[in-house]
Copies of this chain bind each other. A is one copy, B any other.
Amino acid sequence: MITTHQLEHWLQEDIGHHDVTNHVPGETTGRLVATEPGVAAGLEAAARVFEYLDVTVEASVTDGTTLAAGDQLLRVSGPAKSILRGERIAVNVVGHASGIATRTRTAVDAAQQESQSVRIAGTRKTTPGLRGVEKRAVVAGGGDTHRLDLSHMVMVKDNHIAEMGLEDAVAHFRERASFGTKIEVEVERPAAAPQAAAAGADIVLLDNTSPSRVREAVETLTAEYPDVLTEASGGITLETVPAYAKTGIDIISMGSLTHSAPSLDLSFRTGEP
């Protein structure tokens, strides 16, 4: 959720102490329109901004809707002054979130041409302060949030394994984490994948591994541990997604979905019918 504190921070950092340009009298309307194709996201945040300013908001689409250039995302009506104040922030947050949703959709489409069941997932590489907005934007694009925060799922990493050994590390966290928490184990070599599964991993992560070695690891693992999920990660791009999707992997995670997606181009038009 977006707190009032955060919302007011967004407004305050844009307005400052004395803005003379928005003191426009009367009522007006406004429309948020996509000027390029994409996928809508962040609409709840935009609605929060306008509603805070006593502007009435009607969403024309929902998060996840495919947009053609010219499609309207939402329509507002209310005091001209308030609409002018909210407009820039609404465009910024919806453009940002929709950019993430759009890139996610592109990755999902690329992957699903090779595998109907593979999931494209985000990472914890999100913009500080926008974890929830960005995770939900990944979902809007057809992706999987992956770990929402460090408490959501245990990730057993190389430093844990180096310190405790793989079996003991998994047992250590199985003991300490809730029964409701899944445990994922990151392995550096495909050969370690079955060992991780044997130790009790719910998911095995193959980091920085080539598609061919991923395929090999997935085959070995699945034969013996059909219920264990597999994930590939590390520098996977829109270009290499299909190659990974073909390997039989369950999840492909990509930091670039959230940290490097360009904003979706939007236009806010006031005073239109």
Number of copies: 6
Q: Is the CB of A152 within 8 A of B150?
A: no
Q: Is the CB of B128 within 8 A of A153?
A: no
Does A139 have its Cβ within 8 Å of any Cβ on chain B? yes
Does A20 have its Cβ within 8 Å of any Cβ on chain B? yes
Q: Is the CB of A129 within 8 A of B9?
A: yes
Q: Is the CB of A136 within 8 A of B178?
A: no
Of A66-74, A108-116, A140-148, A191-199, the stretch lying at the interface with chain B is: A140-148
Q: Is the CB of B125 within 8 A of A128?
A: no
Q: Is the CB of B159 within 8 A of A270?
A: yes
Which of B10, B20, B22, B132 is within 8 Å of A13, CB to CB?
B132
Q: Is the CB of A129 within 8 A of B132?
A: no
Chain A's interface size range is 35 or more
Given A1-B8, A89-B128, A159-B271, A17:B181 Cβ within 8 A: no
Does A263 have its Cβ within 8 Å of any Cβ on chain B? yes
**What is the distance, in angstroms, from A181's C-beta to the closest C-beta of chain B?**
7
Give Cα A173–Cα B19 distance, bound, in whole angstroms. Answer: 10
Q: Is the CB of B271 within 8 A of A150?
A: no
17 A-B interface contacts by CB (under 8 A) = A1-B11, A4-B4, A13-B132, A18-B136, A18-B178, A19-B150, A19-B151, A21-B154, A21-B173, A95-B259, A129-B130, A148-B178, A159-B270, A179-B203, A180-B184, A259-B262, A259-B263
Interface residues, chain A, CB within 8 Å of chain B? 1, 3-6, 8-22, 24, 45, 88-89, 91-93, 95-96, 99, 119, 121, 124-132, 135-136, 139, 144-157, 159-160, 163, 173, 176-182, 184, 203, 227, 229, 231, 250-251, 255-256, 259-260, 262-263, 270-271
Rank and list the top 4 A-B pairs by shortest CB-CB distance, nearest first: A16-B151, A260-B262, A16-B149, A19-B150
